[in-house]
Chain A
């Protein structure tokens, strides 16, 4: 079940980005943990696709988290409270604390941004950007994510099948898999370039470069209230950041 949409995609993405900024500015493990528990975990659970998002977070943040714990946990030059020692490696309380802080921050970043990105309605976002009069080419870059990425994946799959039918044996050893990947990339990229050349002409003939205002088939789901809220949120975070640093510098 997809989640029920409450806010405009632009509002959601801005809120996610501002939350990341706040975590960076405040930079304490308590705040990061609070954001993780109060915002990220419920957000993922209520997203309608918790398994997919959890997997994406694990793939994106997992290796970094592990390497951070190994690196800072075992080798932290500033660490003084030694908990265990094996030759040159020392587990220190300070190292673990530092690793926990960076790990928490990383978990919050990936959690917030991936949840926002994977649940946002791209067509609605494109429509909002069009209604707000954003640069057409930027909108196209965002919008083509709707169509192009799944299209590329499907095409790569079909090319692999065609090549297998021609005698390519995929799987088994790593070199064989790498070779398979390279064999797919040539027709894939060639095909996409040919498509792109044709699409350029199509876009031109459909008035993509026409001057003047554009409209969108999808209704504008953005509201004056949300627009005001976005400005207020951005101004609030900016003000809070400045105040936070000013107080920090004065201490």
Chain B
């Protein structure tokens, strides 16, 4: 039904990022395009979506066939132009980042879904019926009157998918639709996609890893450095040894070396570290409760209810729990981004007062946010990573030295001079990680550190965590990556309704 033949594709004057691809998607098919960061997945998805980049100087040599029509491209200005509106009525596309996927003209989910057909002049009665039908099909009926900018990650993804498929396209292309979603939201989106597939829509899903559960006969195309390295069924892919290309399977345990990577201090047995000179915890929450005023009402919403948590040197504490269980809220108490309504927070032996500036705690507690891009703001990667040490008064030379060491530790020593926004998602995530490391805090607080990472990035983060704990630091991470937490955490705590459910038996630092 749709076929992409790509002999080469390059962005404006850049190197070839995709070549040697011949991919046909038949009606009702399910195709997984997998590959590590920078392997050309997004380029492939955009080409299938009809975005050949002709207007922005990109050079595409190959052909696109839709239905019976074959369009040839030779990388010249005379190449055919694709009408995006006409193309998307058959081939819909949902891009990786959600921010740019809302029209920003709609006050409700219903209007957002209606945006495309309304632009094409669908009569009002039909339009309402189409929106209602799509919402019912994808389980969005209860959300129709909600503001699309105030949805959870999973709800937003489903709204974007609904807006893409309201015109009943025959193919839906999704670029990393599960990125940054928790288990519950993932399941929601997966159900949505299953409904579409059952109705005959062909799906092409790009992801950094092989799916852990999907129909075994679904097709897998694996890309590495812009070239296909595997084309077969999912069952074959699982056993094809794609790990050698840094393509893992979701839900598998990370492959981490127990010795710390270059740039971190020498390993110290965790049991020795706990008996350090002071014997005190690195950070401690005692009876912490937190509530905020519900918007538009005078009522209070209680997010944390009397949480006690003691974190010692060598600890890697995993926090698990459903969306809204209070994980992020708890983490944000550790560096003063949120202040407890009652109870006390102690960081590095200091009691956190109402007036302790968050910025002053950056040297003691490093925080990795879930959304990387909001953390990066400098012109070069080196300046970005040196920002923390500079703010702490390390001096220009000293700060840059620490930044270089941190970049080497995350494996990005070569990228020091680049602009952070020119890097791929995984590299940007690692830059944010390096900027945390460069401030040399003893406590690392990480919100979903492995979300969206490829196999190599996930393993690297795992090694950094082990190295930090072994050197006498501590890590607290909120995660939905159960296999990662199982392999690395010394304790796993489950949060439910703002309370810690399980005490989490202390385990060895090696996760045994």
**Cα(A164)–Cα(B120), bound, Å:** 46
Q: Does A190 contact B (CB under 8 A)?
A: yes
Indicate whether A217 sits within 8 Å of B100 (C-beta atoms), given known contacts A187-B373, A206-B115.
no
Q: How far is the CA of A186 from the CA of B363 in the complex (A)?
A: 24
A interface majority secondary structure:
helix
Q: Chain A residue with minimal CB distance to B368?
A: A165
Contacts A166-B388, A167-B362, A198-B95 known; A217 to B104 CB distance under 8 Å? no
Query: Taking the nearest CB of chain B, how far is it from the CB of A2, in angstroms?
Result: 11
A199 engages B104 (CB within 8 Å): yes
Measured CA separation A46–B362 after assembly (Å): 48
Chain A residue numbers with a CB within 8 Å of B49 are 205
The 8 A CB mask of B91-103 against A (1 = contact, 0 = none) is: 0010101011111
A215-B118 in contact given A162-B375, A164-B358, A166-B435 (Cβ < 8 Å): yes
Interface string of B386-402 (1 = CB under 8 A from A): 01100110000000000
- In angstroms, how far is the closest chain A Cβ from the Cβ of B172? 13
Across chains A and B, the number of contacting residue pairs, with CB separation under 8 Å, is 180
Q: Is A163 an interface residue (CB 8 A)?
A: yes
Distance in angstroms from A212 CB to nearest chain B CB is: 5
Q: How many residues of B contact A (CB 8 A)?
A: 65
Q: Does B314 contact A (CB under 8 A)?
A: no
Q: Check B345 for interface membership: any CB of A closer than 8 A.
A: no
Contact A161 B104 (CB under 8 A): no
Assuming the contacts A164-B359, A166-B435, A217-B127, asked whether A151 and B95 have C-beta atoms less than 8 A apart, the reply is: no
A158 and B104: CB pair below 8 A?
A: no
- Interchain CB contact (< 8 A) of B85 among A147, A158, A210: A210
Residues of chain A lying within 8 A (CB to CB) of residue B182:
none
Q: Which residues of A contact B106 (CB under 8 A)?
A: 123, 146-147
Of the listed stretches A8-16, A63-71, A168-176, A229-237, name the one at the interface; the rest are far from the partner chain: A168-176
Instruction: Please tell me if the beta carbons of B100 and A150 are within 8 angstroms of each other in the complex.
Output: no
- Report if A196 contacts B (CB, 8 A): yes
Q: Indicate with 1 or 0, residue by residue over A60-80, a CB within 8 angstroms of chain B CB atoms.
A: 000000000000000000000
**B-side contacts of A207, CB under 8 Å:** 85, 88, 116, 119-120
Q: In A178-207, which residues have CB < 8 Å from any B CB?
A: 183-184, 186-187, 190-191, 194-199, 201-207
CB-nearest residue of chain A to B436: A166
The reply to whether A194 and B100 contact each other, CB–CB distance below 8 Å, is yes
Q: Does A144 contact B (CB under 8 A)?
A: yes
Report the nearest A residue to B435, measured CB to CB: A166
A171 to B358, CA, bound (A): 11
- Complexed CA–CA distance, A19 and B114 (Å): 36
Closest Cβ of chain A to B116, distance in Å, is 4
A169 to B371, CA, bound (A): 21
CB nearest neighbor in A for B355? A171
Check A164 against B107 for contact (C-beta < 8 Å): no
How many whole Å from B462's CB to the nearest CB in chain A? Answer: 22
In angstroms, Cα B108 to Cα A191, docked, is 23
Interface pair B101/A202, CB less than 8 Å apart: yes
Chain A contacts of B50 at CB under 8 A? 205
Closest B residue, CB atoms, query A216: B118
Q: Assuming the A-B contacts A159-B374, A167-B392, A196-B100, are A206 and B119 also in contact, with contact meaning beta carbons closer than 8 angstroms in the complex?
A: yes
Nearest-neighbor residue (CB-CB) of B130 within chain A: A217
Given contacts A146-B107, A199-B104, A205-B87, contact A167 B369 (CB under 8 A): no
A213 part of interface (Cβ distance < 8 Å)? yes
> In whole angstroms, how far apart are the Cα atoms of A41 and B373 in the complex?
46
Q: Does A228 contact B (CB under 8 A)?
A: no
Which one, B360, B377, B439, contacts A163 given CB within 8 A?
A: B377
- A32-58: CB near B (< 8 Å → 1, else 0) gives 000000000000000000000000000
- Nearest CB of A to B164, in Å: 9
Interchain CB contact under 8 A, B111 and A123: yes
Of residues 105 to 126 in A, which have CB atoms within 8 Å of B's CB atoms? 122-123, 126
Is B335 an interface residue when CB atoms closer than 8 A count as contact?
yes
Find out whether the CB atom of A212 lies under 8 angstroms from the CB atom of B100: no
Is A201 in contact with B51, judged by CB distance below 8 angstroms?
Answer: yes
Q: Assuming the A-B contacts A190-B421, A217-B127, are A165 and B337 also in contact, with contact meaning beta carbons closer than 8 angstroms in the complex?
A: yes
**How far apart are the CA atoms of A147 and B115 in the complex, in Å?**
14
- Contact A204:B118 (CB < 8 A) given known A169-B357, A195-B100: no
- Let me know if B122 is at the binding interface, CB within 8 A: yes
* Interface contact A147-B120, CB-CB below 8 Å: no
User: Distance in Å from the Cβ of B182 to the closest Cβ of chain A?
Assistant: 19
Contact among A143, A169, A191 with B374 in the assembled complex (CB-CB below 8 Å): A191
Tell me if B221 is interfacial: C-beta within 8 Å of chain A: no
CB neighbours of A197 from chain B (8 A): 100
- Our pick among B84, B107, B358, B359 for the contact of A204 (Cβ within 8 Å) is B84
Alpha-carbon distance between A164 and B369 when the two chains are bound, in angstroms: 12
Is the pair B358, A165 in contact by a Cβ cutoff of 8 Å?
yes
- Enumerate B59-94 residues with CB–CB distance to A below 8 Å: 84-85, 87-88, 93
- Which B-chain residue is minimally distant from A201 (CB atoms)? B51
- Assembly CA distance A213 to B119 (angstroms): 8
* CA–CA, A187 and B363, complex, Å: 22
With A151-B149, A167-B387 as known contacts, state yes or no: A143 contacts B439, CB within 8 Å.
Answer: no
CA–CA, A204 and B55, complex, Å: 13
Q: Report if A198-B374 is in contact (Cβ < 8 Å); known contacts: A147-B102, A210-B85, A219-B124.
A: no
Interchain CA distance A204-B88 in the complex, whole Å: 9
Interface flags for A129-173 (1: CB within 8 Å of B; 0: not) read 010000000011001101110110011001101111111111100
Is B227 engaged at the interface, CB distance under 8 Å to the other chain?
Answer: no
A143-B105 contact given A169-B360, A217-B111, A218-B111, CB 8 Å threshold: yes
A155 / chain B contacts, CB cutoff of 8 Å = 374
Name the residue in A122, A167, A207 with the highest tally of chain B Cβ atoms < 10 Å from its Cβ.
A167
Given contacts A206-B88, A215-B127, 14 further A-B contacts (CB under 8 A): A144-B104, A150-B149, A161-B358, A165-B337, A169-B357, A186-B378, A187-B375, A191-B374, A198-B95, A201-B51, A205-B87, A214-B120, A215-B117, A215-B122
* 15 intermolecular pairs with C-beta atoms under 8 Å apart: A143-B104, A154-B149, A162-B371, A164-B337, A164-B357, A165-B335, A165-B358, A167-B392, A169-B357, A190-B421, A198-B100, A206-B88, A206-B116, A208-B119, A214-B118
